């Protein structure tokens, strides 16, 4: 076995399978830091990590309050690298750890390599217009999306150790917590993706696009403003640098301008179709087949295809 | 109440030119205020209007922070005063340095109740500066904030994380990073832009804010445009039935 340890953390137990595999792929031994249920600590150990368990999140506290406990564990274990599964919550924990440990954070790394001096990472910058490779001097905190690491065959389960420190509630109080009624979809397996942008203009047209998608056996997707601004579709359906990435056989963009933040999420499609009323929209240079026309005219024809 | 809102000026990535060696040239790029920072400015403006609070907008960067048009553009959106920390090293600064310079600048400004940041900067989108800034200032910090109400020294905020919506009480002073969907940034009127030109604006140096450097333990190795796939770009033009049908027929071949 290697002599490097890699501390991993996430705000859901499932994410540890990928993180533990990733730590091993980087040539290290995973130490899983976990704040949450005890049963989950055992599940995480089964993915081949020694689990350092800091206990449950106290009532009224946030997951993010685990940062101080994690800091102490990391200072004691002195890992070569800290790996975390990217989420709003781990972003907060990583930022606090960064200041407390004097370590840099790399958000949304898409690949990495570890050696004795530090970690080399790649991530998108300028909204996806460029990929930046960076090299840390010493320990860094690297956040990765799910799916960056391949799942390996886990070695023997690790032990669960109760840490000396526990999660203490911070100054921020949780008053209420409720589930959001929003679908979560995985567009990864879709062969055809019909993607609507702001040019779709209204929900009636979104319905027409939906009819088209179901006739051709496609999944619906959208640009970020359709999900975040208009709220016409679930957030899990928007493609791009801050959304999902798809590689379908056919991508059909309806009223999508094709700005780089979006095209990063569909650039690997086999065949790209675009309808846009503006001939100079960037997507017209990034499509295989395009139509410069008003969607009001084009949608009925497509919907009856 | 004193509110500070942090915004970053960046070159517009749409104007980036890919060079032969795949690096990007921003030489002819226009400058813009980070898209998501405008949401933070709007949130600050709404709170300042509701509470009669003072609102200072703060940016740290290179010469771009003195761009007269952008200065007006940000001040036209509600802030009362603009403060910029300028240094040639700042455009390339990572989260560690940026957060530390911002912390020094916020301290330099005096007492504050609330610091607002955007969801992420338009160029780096690390989503780190807000949290790190809070930690450096020794105050609570939280991200993904989708609604803010301030009342008696507490910010009552809503926060969407994954499939959960949380309502949190955040004691002030605090740093909040707002989600992009929190509001629709206003489009300033001609009058807003004219009055913006009369609002105070200051440029400070790193020494002015008492920042004497930090070792950012990470170096950039390269920044290159990814390879793009070749596309056929067969484009039909026209709203007439015939063109649309011809296009639809070509689409069908693929499905
Ligand atoms: C840090 C950062 C991260 C981002 N991440 C993402 C991301 O992950 N995903 C994402 O999608 N965006 C993202 N964005 C936003 C992105 O920059 C663009 O603003 C967005 O993708 C544009 O969406 P759109 O094409 O729907 O809208 P617009 O750019 O407004 O384009 C609408 C298009 O519709 C056309 N149109 C209008 N009316 C009609 C009509 N009647 N018929 C035909 N065509 C019509 C117009 O010509 C135009 O080209 C991000 C931005 C930033 C700053
Ligand atoms: N150079 C800067 N000047 C002022 N504010 C900044 C700067 N860089 C980042 N910020 C703020 O921090 C937020 C997060 O930035 P980042 O961590 O780079 O994604 C941005 O939305 C801004 O509000």
Q: What percent of chain B has pLDDT over 70?
A: 100
The number of distinct structural domains making up chain A is: 2
Q: How many CB atoms neighbour CB A186 within 10 A? A: 9
Structure-block tokens of residue A147: 């799916």
Is the preceding omega at residue B173 within 30 degrees of 0, hence cis? yes
Q: What percent of chain A has pLDDT over 90?
A: 92
In whole angstroms, give the CA distance from residue A222 to residue A218.
Answer: 13
Q: How many CB atoms neighbour CB A214 within 10 A? A: 13
Ligand 1: residues within 6 Å at CB?
A 127, 197-199, 201, 223-225, 238-243, 255-257, 259, 261-262, 265, 276-278, 281, 294-296; B 35-36, 120, 122, 125
CATH number of the domain at A195, please: 3.40.50.1220
- B28 touching A (Cβ < 8 Å): no
For residues A154 and A71, state if they share a domain. yes
In whole angstroms, give the CA distance from residue A36 to residue A272.
Answer: 44
For residues A246 and A138, state if they share a domain. no
Phi then psi for residue A120, to 5 deg, are -105, 130
For residues A193 and A153, state if they share a domain. no
In whole angstroms, give the CA distance from residue A214 to residue A220.
Answer: 9
For residues A21 and A143, state if they share a domain. yes
In whole angstroms, give the CA distance from residue B134 to residue A67.
Answer: 14
**DSSP label of B90:** G
Q: How many CB atoms neighbour CB B68 within 10 A? A: 9
For residues A132 and A258, state if they share a domain. no
- Please give the distance, rounded to the nearest whole angstrom, from the Cα atom of residue A218 to the centre of ligand 2: 38
**A2 pLDDT higher than 70:** no
- B252 touching A (Cβ < 8 Å): yes
pTM for the model stands at 0.95
CB B128 within 8 Å of CB A95? yes
Residue A205: domain span: 187-303
Ligand 2: residues within 6 Å at CB?
B 6-8, 34, 36-37, 40, 59-61, 95, 98, 102, 117-118, 120-121, 124-130
- B225 touching A (Cβ < 8 Å): yes
For residues A158 and A9, state if they share a domain. yes
A291 chain-B contacts, CB cut-off 8 A: 235-237, 243-244, 247
- B187 touching A (Cβ < 8 Å): no
What are the CA-CA distances from residue A114 to residues A159, A204, B16, B168 (Å)? Answer: 25, 51, 31, 38
**DSSP label of A235:** G
Q: How far is B21 from chain A (nearest CA, A)?
A: 12
Q: Do B163 and A298 touch (CB under 8 A)?
A: no
Closest ligand 1 atom, CA of B35?
53
Pairing state between β B164-171 and A173-179? antiparallel
- Please give the distance, rounded to the nearest whole angstrom, from the Cα atom of residue A275 to the centre of ligand 2: 35
Q: Do A99 and B255 touch (CB under 8 A)?
A: no
In whole angstroms, give the CA distance from residue B50 to residue B236.
Answer: 52
Q: How many CB atoms neighbour CB A78 within 10 A? A: 9
- Please give the distance, rounded to the nearest whole angstrom, from the Cα atom of residue A225 to the centre of ligand 1: 7
Over residues A30-61, the pLDDT tens digits come to 999 999 999 999 999 999 999 999 999 999 99
Is A171 inside a domain boundary? no
Show the beta-strand stretches assigned E in chain A.
5-9, 29-34, 50-53, 81-85, 105-109, 111-114, 119-125, 130-136, 141-144, 160-162, 173-179, 192-196, 219-222, 250-254, 271-276, 289-292
CATH number of the domain at A135, please: 3.40.50.620
Q: Do B237 and A293 touch (CB under 8 A)?
A: yes
Q: Which of A88, A179, A184 sits opposite B144 (nearest CB)?
A: A88
Over residues B116-160, the pLDDT tens digits come to 999 999 999 999 999 999 999 999 999 999 999 999 999 999 999
Q: Do B168 and A172 touch (CB under 8 A)?
A: yes
Closest C-alpha residue for ligand 1 atom 31: A257
- Please give the distance, rounded to the nearest whole angstrom, from the Cα atom of residue A146 to the centre of ligand 1: 25
Structure-block tokens of residue A89: 């919550």
Q: Is A60 left (phi over 0), alpha (psi -120 to 50) or beta?
A: left
Q: Which of A170, A176, A287 sits opposite B167 (nearest CB)?
A: A176
ipTM of the complex: 0.95
For residues A207 and A256, state if they share a domain. yes
**DSSP label of B23:** B
What class, spelled out in words, does domain B2-224 have in CATH?
alpha beta
In whole angstroms, give the CA distance from residue B146 to residue A10.
Answer: 23
Is A170 inside a domain boundary? no
Residue-level pLDDT at A305? 78
Look-up: residue for tokens 């449950």? A56
Q: How far is A73 from chain B (nearest CA, A)?
A: 19
CB A277 within 8 Å of CB A297? no
Q: Classify B156 as helix, strand or coil.
A: strand
Which residues of chain B register pLDDT less than 70?
Answer: none
CB B87 within 8 Å of CB B212? no
Phi then psi for residue B139, to 5 deg, are -125, 160
Q: Do A173 and B168 touch (CB under 8 A)?
A: yes
B164 chain-A contacts, CB cut-off 8 A: 177-180
Q: Do B168 and A174 touch (CB under 8 A)?
A: yes
For residues A18 and A154, state if they share a domain. yes
**DSSP label of A244:** B
Q: Which of B162, B166, B255 sits opposite A174 (nearest CB)?
A: B166
B221 chain-A contacts, CB cut-off 8 A: 120, 133-135
For residues A118 and A257, state if they share a domain. no
For residues A233 and A155, state if they share a domain. no
Q: Do A290 and B95 touch (CB under 8 A)?
A: no
Q: Do A279 and B237 touch (CB under 8 A)?
A: yes
- Please give the distance, rounded to the nearest whole angstrom, from the Cα atom of residue A216 to the centre of ligand 2: 43
Query: Which ligand sits nearest to residue B97's alpha carbon?
Result: 2
Q: Do B13 and A126 touch (CB under 8 A)?
A: yes
- Rounded to the nearest 10°, the torsion over CA B82, B86, B92, B97 is -80
- B17 touching A (Cβ < 8 Å): no
- Per DSSP, the residues of A134-166 read EEESS--EEEE-TTSS------S---EEE-S--
In whole angstroms, give the CA distance from residue B236 to residue B217.
Answer: 52
Is A209 inside a domain boundary? yes
Structure-block tokens of residue A135: 């090299």
Pairing state between β B17-18 and B24-25? antiparallel
In whole angstroms, give the CA distance from residue A145 to residue A110.
Answer: 8
Q: Classify A52 as helix, strand or coil.
A: strand
For residues A53 and A158, state if they share a domain. yes
Over residues A69-81, the pLDDT tens digits come to 999 999 999 999 9
Interface of B with A in 72-131 (CB under 8 A): 94-96, 99, 120, 122-128, 130-131
In whole angstroms, give the CA distance from residue A2 to residue A81.
Answer: 14
Pairing state between β A141-144 and A105-109? parallel
Structure-block tokens of residue A132: 């930046």
Over residues A136-145, the pLDDT tens digits come to 999 999 999 8
Is A178 inside a domain boundary? no
CB B75 within 8 Å of CB B192? no
Per-domain residue ranges of chain B: 2-224
Those residues with Cβ within 8 angstroms of residue B193's Cβ, 6 or more apart along the chain or in another chain: B72, B73, B76
CA B64, chain centre distance (Å):
14
Residue-level pLDDT at A1? 45
Structure-block tokens of residue A263: 């095209």
Over residues A273-295, the pLDDT tens digits come to 999 999 999 999 999 999 999 99
Phi then psi for residue A188, to 5 deg, are -55, -35
CB-count exposure of residue B20 (10 Å: 0-12, 13-18, 19+): exposed
**Closest C-alpha among B161, B188, B178 to residue B69:** B188
In whole angstroms, give the CA distance from residue A188 to residue A269.
Answer: 11
Over residues A73-127, the pLDDT tens digits come to 999 999 999 999 999 999 999 999 999 999 999 999 999 999 999 999 999 999 9
Over residues A197-253, the pLDDT tens digits come to 999 999 999 999 999 999 999 999 999 999 988 999 999 999 999 999 999 999 999
């Amino acid at each position: 076995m290697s002599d490097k340890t890699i501390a991993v953390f996430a705000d859901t137990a499932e994410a540890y399978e990928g993180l533990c595999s990733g730590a091993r792929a980087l040539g290290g031994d995973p130490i899983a830091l976990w704040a949450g249920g005890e049963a989950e600590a055992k599940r995480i150990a089964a993915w081949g990590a020694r689990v350092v368990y800091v206990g449950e999140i106290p009532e009224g506290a946030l997951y993010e309050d685990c940062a101080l406990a994690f800091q102490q564990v990391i200072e004691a274990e002195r890992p070569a690298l800290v790996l975390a599964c990217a989420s709003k919550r781990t972003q907060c924990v990583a930022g606090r750890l960064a200041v407390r440990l004097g370590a840099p954070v790399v958000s949304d790394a898409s690949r990495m390599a570890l050696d004795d001096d530090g970690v080399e990472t790649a991530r998108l910058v300028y909204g996806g217009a460029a990929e930046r490779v960076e090299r840390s001097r010493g320990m860094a905190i690297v956040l990765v999306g799910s799916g960056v690491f391949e799942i390996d065959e886990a070695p023997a389960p690790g032990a669960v150790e109760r840490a000396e420190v526990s999660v203490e509630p911070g100054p921020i109080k949780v008053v209420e917590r409720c589930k959001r009624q929003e679908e979560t979809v995985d567009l990864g397996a879709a062969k055809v993706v019909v993607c609507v942008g702001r040019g779709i203009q209204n929900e009636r047209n979104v319905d027409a696009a939906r009819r088209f998608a179901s006739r051709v056996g496609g999944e619906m997707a959208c640009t970020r403003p359709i999900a975040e601004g208009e709220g016409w579709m679930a957030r899990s359906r928007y493609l791009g640098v801050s959304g999902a990435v798809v590689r379908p056989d056919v991508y059909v963009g309806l009223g999508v301008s094709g700005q780089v933040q979006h095209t990063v999420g569909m650039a690997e499609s086999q065949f790209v179709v675009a309808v846009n009323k503006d001939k100079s929209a960037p997507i017209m240079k990034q499509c295989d087949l395009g139509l410069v026309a008003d969607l009001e005219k084009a949608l009925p024809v497509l919907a009856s295809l | 109440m004193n509110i500070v809102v942090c915004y970053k000026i960046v070159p517009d990535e749409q104007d980036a030119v890919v060079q032969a060696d795949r690096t990007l040239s921003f030489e002819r790029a226009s400058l813009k205020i980070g898209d998501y920072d405008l949401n933070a400015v709007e949130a600050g403006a709404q709170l300042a209007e509701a509470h009669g609070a003072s609102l200072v907008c703060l940016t740290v960067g290179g010469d771009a922070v003195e761009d007269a048009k952008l200065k007006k553009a940000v001040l036209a959106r509600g802030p009362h005063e603009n403060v910029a920390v300028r240094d040639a090293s700042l455009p390339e600064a990572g989260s560690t340095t940026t957060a530390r310079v911002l912390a020094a600048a916020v301290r330099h400004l005096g007492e504050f109740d609330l610091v607002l940041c955007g969801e992420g900067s338009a160029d780096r989108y690390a989503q780190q500066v807000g949290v790190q800034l809070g930690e450096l200032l020794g105050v609570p910090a939280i991200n993904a904030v989708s609604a803010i109400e301030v009342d008696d020294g507490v910010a009552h905020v809503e926060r969407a994380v994954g499939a959960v919506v949380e309502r949190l009480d955040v004691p002030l002073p605090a740093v909040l990073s707002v989600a992009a969907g929190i509001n629709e940034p206003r489009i300033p009127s001609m009058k807003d832009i004219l009055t913006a030109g009369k609002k105070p604006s200051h440029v400070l140096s790193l020494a002015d804010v008492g920042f004497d450097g930090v070792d950012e333990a990470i170096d950039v190795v390269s920044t290159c445009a990814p390879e793009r796939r070749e596309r056929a770009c067969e484009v039909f033009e026209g709203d007439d039935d015939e063109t649309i049908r011809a296009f639809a027929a070509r689409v069908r071949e693929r499905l």
